[in-house]
Amino acid sequence: MNNCIRCAEEIPITGAMYCPFCGASQVVKEKPGRRPKTRANGTGTAFRRGSTWTASVVVGWKLPKDPSRPKIPVKKTRGGFKSKKDALNYCSQLMLETTSRRRLTLEECWNEWSEPYEKRVGKSTFAGYRSAYGHFKGLQGTFMDLISVTELQKCIDAVPGHRTKQMMKTTAGLLWRHCVAHDLLDKDITGVLYLGKGQSVQREPLTPEEVEVIKKNIGKYRYAEYIYCLVFLGCRPGEMLELHKDQLHHYLKKDDDGNIVADIWYLIAGKKTAAGKNRIIPIPAQILDYVLERAWIPGTDLLFPMYQFDRKKEKLVCFKNMTDEYMNKHVFKPMMKDLGIAEGKVPYCARHSYADKLKDADGTDKSKAALIGHSNYLFTQEHYQSDTIEELAALVASFE
């Protein structure tokens, strides 16, 4: 006697096909085996679309907006086949068309492009590219050839600030042109990206009266001399903060009788543009003492470093590089607010003050172009490269 396979009651009749209590069949049916797969993963599939069949292969993956969700497959299809067999046979050709060219995701392209390019530009410039690239986070895992203009535009539209949008378009353009140059893409699609109308911001220079207020407060406010020096050097803030002591030079010239005819301290600095790199910047008398004093401070190779203090012990720990952002947010703006200087000004305004001094100074246009580091300051680059240090020093000597 056996028990019922459903109700477990003991069946009194040996070999009964049905349970007399619940009526369940006692014949055990074997489950059909799973049909073996006819195609391996990643080789494509086919589906019916209307009266024809379509071949489909997965060519990439997209990151979803919600990081907790799985990645989204990106498929490439080709339709119009009369039979499923024809569509499946074409899958291998469809895959070959997609993979014959080396493909990079946006992240892979960034890594490949950024490593050599970082050495060609200044730290602050490259930091801007890195920050802009971060705004394309949702596309970084996507193959470049699958990213559309619409998707790039959505990333740009999602950020505030016209300057950020400009940097995003510039960064995307550099990456796409890198791929085109290495035959990884057919064209650069970033040229049509729209940044909005955006308003151009004209920075007002620090006035002579404001500069005088800053000078009077040197010693009362930490880093006040940095801002004062910025006015008389004409450097971009990032350029000045990266100056090293070995960029400070002394030019001494004597006549036949041994009399000193030229005693000039100057910097060789600059970056960002071809005209701005490795330019000679004579140090005006107004700030010479401050610069030379900084050159003898031990413990750092920087001329204008940031002081790192132990707040509890009120003791200097070390020096490190000060960033543009730190100078603007934690040095310049708080100091200007305390000194009653107009709101809305930034450290770069000091460069505009320098430009104003150049306009009123006695000197040629080519000398002024050389000092400000512009390739087009009423004169072309080939004209001003021949300026001598004595001519440049004479020009800055006329600064008030």
Residue pair 351/211 in contact (Cβ under 8 Å)? The answer is: no
DSSP class of residue 4 equals: -
pLDDT digits (tens, 9 = 90+) for 17-30: 888 888 888 887 77
β-pairing, 279-282 with 260-269? antiparallel
Residue 175: predicted pLDDT: 94
Please say if the pLDDT value at position 106 is more than 90.
yes
- What are the C-alpha distances in Å from 3 to residues 10, 17, 24, 29, 70? 4, 12, 11, 17, 48
Residue with tokens 């960064």: 171
CA distance linking residue 264 with residue 231, whole number of Å: 19
CA distance linking residue 360 with residue 219, whole number of Å: 30
Two tokens, residue 31: 């489950």
CA distance linking residue 127 with residue 115, whole number of Å: 13
Q: Which of 23-37, 38-52, 277-291, 316-330 has the lowest mean pLDDT?
A: 23-37
**Sign of the dihedral through C-alpha 171, 175, 177, 181:** positive
- pTM > 0.85: yes or no: no
Two tokens, residue 299: 């413990």
Two tokens, residue 99: 């993979």
CA distance linking residue 353 with residue 356, whole number of Å: 5
- The CATH architecture assigned to 208-396 reads Orthogonal Bundle (1.10)
Residue 379: predicted pLDDT: 36
- The CATH architecture assigned to 106-192 reads Orthogonal Bundle (1.10)
Residue 212: predicted pLDDT: 92
Residue 53: predicted pLDDT: 94
Two tokens, residue 244: 């090293």
